Amino acid sequence: MKRHMKKKAIPVFLTCILLISISSTALASSETVIASVDWVMTKINPLNSKVTNLEKKVAELENQVEQLKLQINK
């Protein structure tokens, strides 16, 4: 299940980067813009945090499902 989430996270991450770059195109066309590492990190870090939180929640839910399966099989 974690592999499945990671496989989904990568396209979501890349899509977000694409959307950010598209939204910046108007600014870039009017003047030369060089993205600094800090700027990129400010855009990526919130996404990474959200993905990490979602992965934790999925792991918790998977654990609960396994516990419920064990209770049902008793």
* Domain extent at residue 46: 2-73
Question: Residue 3 has what pLDDT?
Answer: 56
pLDDT at 55 over 60: yes
**41-51: average pLDDT:** 90
Total residues belonging to the chain: 74
- The amino acid present at 50, given as its one-letter code, is K
What tokens appear for 63 in the block?
């654990």
What tokens appear for 39 in the block?
């700027």
Start-to-end CA distance of the chain, whole Å, equals 25
What is the tally of structural domains in the chain? 1
Question: Residue 53 has what pLDDT?
Answer: 95
> CA nearest 53: which of 18, 9, 10, 1?
9
